[in-house]
Structure 1
């Protein structure tokens, strides 16, 4: 019911005592009938608290910001699945973004606070949720990563903000809770010798071209999984990142780069072009062998023997096994991106070039993540410059 508010005078100044508590009273006009309807909120321990609440309501009436809760019975879980997510799906958000919201709702928020009425949500509920996720919100009861806890918080805050704007709650209590912090993510990388050893050990692997691209140009896993031949120009030596294939909550979603900077064109040197040509020849041989069973509707660069796409997790799982076989330090697949960036920076590639190759939004992000390498570059450059000026240490 939509209402327009009024300040019709109340008896006993709008405050009543009921037992040991106090109740605030005010009136609003029903826009459908034009008749005033009494509203109240009780349970205040002191008269002063009841007066303060009533004063707040009357001030909202006067400035036109007064709203009423449209449904006091709806639970957080039902609001998220029946109201908020359907509204999100009708927008222009990327499929992977929508899937990530669904994952946050289904795996992190609803299982813990989905049964609480939306109007009854308190900051304490939110704080308890975040603490629970940190301790045991991951797979098999493991701690959830800082980044995922932050995402759960942001998702809930965004949803309750919509609830407030549409009259389900008078305020967004999630906004009163501080956004959870996150530690500095670990950054591991290989030396040039270690990267070379891995590539030599995997030279005959079916996904060797993927490993070569990851270590030489630093694309993300989803960008490798979603790379299409239509976006690769071997004659010009370029590969354009236009599609991604990511795993969200175990479900594969085909999408596009998250930011404008993420959609970029990578330069392929003659060595990478040769690797991709060999890979394409091998894939064509697979296609001939599979015959009518072949299916690669998306024209993906990396597929199984029958043309079916790999699950993005397959790249990580296979990489982990190959690390052990190659006798190199075991790092995450994402750390090949750090390896590519660190080695390029160590080779004195300008930060701006590395930033564009990685698809970072700005050089500042690159400088922050790879400060360890850039600092070393600064020391080396300073020594070289001093030497050029004839400033050298005494023998």
Structure 2
């Protein structure tokens, strides 16, 4: 079934439904046109006839029109943070350079994509004019590859332009981490209690930034000393919210050591005291472990910036907040912990959806792993 969606005073989006996939997933072709309703309907009817006769030519559609329509109509299939990232790359990077080319031109002239990658690798940073990393430009490639794959699936084109060029080579960088002595020394330089506790918690659990900031008290089991990691705190479009999935869409149970137990108990005690003294009924209404002193959720980027400030002050500018996660894993590995257990703790391979399921690693093994940290620093 085909229909029009009004997108502005003189702009309509054409939506044409195609045959569903074998698994029943519905497929659509989208095209936005600058025209009055009658003209837009005429274009839609022509497209329908061409599709039915097998002569529809999506090659003539501009990349800008295609990508913006593709992005809008994939919004519900993407995490809010992923959609925001895609939107940034498409609108700020890809379209200003490639937006006016048609899909057909990108197929006939693969060098257009190659030149785009080269440009971004040389001076693609929009703020400084310096180079973008291979990893980030590969991300641009993956977005376009995914979008063109849909165009291919919808029979708009017969070749995926991104298949005609090689993305920048994958460069594996060694993770930067602190050894136990350096980490302990760094934490002593952090004079703000909130940040010191947060940084130490990160180093002793290996959780990601969003997982830590999205951690709520009812996800902590003090008796068994375990944390249920199932959500993240994110900030997109100026709004902070809790996303009920982790980076890998996995739920995992992470045990914590006695030092982390004491750290959490102290935080909990202080939050109860603040709420009582200030008589704030809605204080920390999100029940966050690492809420700000006023009870509001922290801005994830502000936490990373704070870490960098302390790292620079300690002459350790090479480290980022994520280095705390790397340090957690590296210290365990250097002290004899097997890689499989570390991977489970980090959430790289666990495919469990409940707190009780462990894959290929026992509770005893995981608890032994995190408790080693107490003996190290």
TM-score (norm 2): 0.71
Shift of 1:277: 1.0
1:135 counterpart residue number: 122
Q: Does the Cα contact within 8 Å between 2:220 and 2:227 map onto a contact in 1? A: yes
Residue among 134, 156, 167 paired with 2:155: 167
Q: How does 1:360-379 map to 2 (within 5 A)?
A: 360-361=348-349
Shift of 1:242: 0.8
Q: How does 1:35-114 map to 2 (within 5 A)?
A: 68-70=56-58, 72=60, 74-82=61-69, 84-91=70-77, 93-114=78-99
Q: Does the Cα contact within 8 Å between 1:133 and 1:143 map onto a contact in 2? A: yes
Shift of 1:306: 1.8
Q: Does the Cα contact within 8 Å between 2:97 and 2:116 map onto a contact in 1? A: yes
Q: Distance in 2 between matches of 1:161 and 1:67?
A: 19
1:23 counterpart residue number: none
Aligned length: 301
Q: Which moved more, 1:198-207 or 1:182-191?
A: 198-207
2:301 pairs with 1:313: yes
Give the direction of change, closer, same or farther, for the CA distance of 1:348–1:106 in structure 2 (3 Å limit).
same
Give the direction of change, closer, same or farther, for the CA distance of 1:326–1:178 in structure 2 (3 Å limit).
closer
1:145 counterpart residue number: 133
Q: How does 1:246-285 map to 2 (within 5 A)?
A: 246=234, 254-255=242-243, 256-259=245-248, 262-285=250-273
Residue among 199, 215, 220 paired with 1:211: 199
Give the direction of change, closer, same or farther, for the CA distance of 1:358–1:253 in structure 2 (3 Å limit).
same
2:101 pairs with 1:116: yes
2:333 counterpart residue number: 345
After superposition, the CA RMSD in angstroms is 3.1
Residue among 223, 239, 244 paired with 2:211: 223
Q: Distance in 1 between matches of 2:337 and 2:158?
A: 54
Shift of 1:289: 5.3
2:165 counterpart residue number: 177
2:189 pairs with 1:201: yes
Shift of 1:354: 0.7
Q: Does the Cα contact within 8 Å between 1:213 and 1:272 map onto a contact in 2? A: yes
Shift of 1:139: 4.4
2:285 pairs with 1:300: no
Shift of 1:231: 1.2
Listed one character per residue, the Cα deviations across residues 238-294 of structure 1 (whole Å, up to 9, x for unaligned) are: 11211112456887564311325x431111111101001111222333434555595
Q: Distance in 2 between matches of 1:149 and 1:214?
A: 29
Q: Distance in 2 between matches of 1:197 and 1:65?
A: 72
Secondary structure of 1:208 counterpart: helix
Q: Distance in 1 between matches of 2:317 and 2:182?
A: 8
Give the direction of change, closer, same or farther, for the CA distance of 1:252–1:151 in structure 2 (3 Å limit).
farther
Q: Does the Cα contact within 8 Å between 1:100 and 1:248 map onto a contact in 2? A: no
Secondary structure of 1:339 counterpart: helix
TM-score (norm 1): 0.68
Shift of 1:325: 4.1
Shift of 1:103: 2.5
Residue among 218, 229, 237 paired with 2:225: 237
Q: Distance in 1 between matches of 2:239 and 2:142?
A: 21
Unaligned runs of 5+ in 2: 3-15, 17-44, 351-377
Shift of 1:87: 2.7
Question: Is the radius of gyration larger for structure 1 or structure 2?
Answer: 1
Shift of 1:186: 3.4
Unaligned runs of 5+ in 1: 3-31, 38-63, 363-395
2:362 counterpart residue number: none
